[in-house]
């Protein structure tokens, strides 16, 4: 257990390896704590969260100064390291075999009629950002995202399909091959949807 003096020393050291001074990070951190209703379980936990927040803030600010096509910002995971975040959202618990070459599609020989780029969000073929929470179900979100876009292109309307359906139903016990919150693959989820005749809407 850290003493008060040890906690203070650790807090004072937070900014030593960062771009801004301690007061800068503390103000942003306390505002973030209030917004996301996060509480520390101990003095050591508080210091760890503040250090992680400061490091992540530096990454965010450095990237945004580059003026690329996207910007970064803080969210409910800003107090975590990458490894802590992976554990929080249940990533990497199990790994399935990679897709086979039989599932790959070759580009057409004549690419002259293909545009250099397409912004499918601007074209209205992308649903709003969704949150998988602590369930390792990114595979189901990528599956529905692809189906939603394809449906919009073919039928003209954007429909939000159910990730939960894949998580609950695309299991070995139901004739599927994916593993719910423990991981899966888009390819096998597509196969499951084809086998059972489609996807539920949200």
Cα 178 to Cα 97, 144, 199: the distances in Å are 11, 14, 15
The answer, yes or no, to whether residue 131 has pLDDT greater than 60, is: yes
Residue 93: pLDDT band (50, 70, 90) is very low
pLDDT in tens, 39-88: 889 988 999 999 999 999 999 999 999 999 999 999 999 999 999 988 87
pLDDT at 174 over 80: no
Domain limits at 25? 4-88
Nearest residue to 191 (alpha-carbon basis) of 90, 119, 96, 91: 96
Q: Decide: helix, strand or coil at residue 88.
A: helix
Same domain, 135 and 64: no
d(CA 121, CA 108): 24
CATH number at residue 53: 1.10.287.2250
Cα 1 from Cα 103, distance rounded (Å): 54
| pTM of the predicted model over 0.75 | no
> Within a domain: residue 25?
yes
Average of per-residue pLDDT across 180-187 = 87
SS3 label, residue 152: helix
DSSP 8-state assignment for residue 170: S
């Amino acid at each position: 257990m850290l003493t008060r003096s040890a906690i203070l020393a650790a807090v004072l050291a937070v900014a030593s390896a960062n771009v801004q001074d301690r007061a800068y990070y503390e103000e942003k951190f306390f505002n973030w704590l209030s917004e996301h209703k996060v509480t520390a379980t101990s003095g050591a936990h508080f210091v760890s969260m503040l250090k992680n927040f400061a490091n992540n803030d530096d990454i965010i600010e450095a990237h945004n100064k580059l003026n690329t096509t996207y910007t970064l910002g803080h969210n409910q995971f800003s107090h975590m390291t990458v490894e802590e975040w992976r554990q929080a959202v249940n990533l990497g618990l199990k790994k399935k075999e990679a897709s086979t070459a039989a599932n790959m599609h070759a580009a057409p020989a004549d690419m002259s009629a293909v545009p250099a780029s397409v912004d499918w969000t601007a074209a209205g073929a992308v649903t709003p950002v969704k949150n998988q929470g602590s369930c390792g179900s990114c595979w189901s979100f990528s599956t529905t995202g692809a189906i939603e876009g394809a449906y919009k292109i073919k039928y003209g309307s954007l429909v939000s399909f159910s990730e939960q359906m894949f998580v609950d139903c695309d299991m070995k016990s139901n004739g599927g091959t994916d593993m719910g919150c423990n991981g899966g693959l888009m390819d096998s989820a597509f196969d499951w949807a084809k086998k059972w005749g489609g996807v539920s809407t949200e």
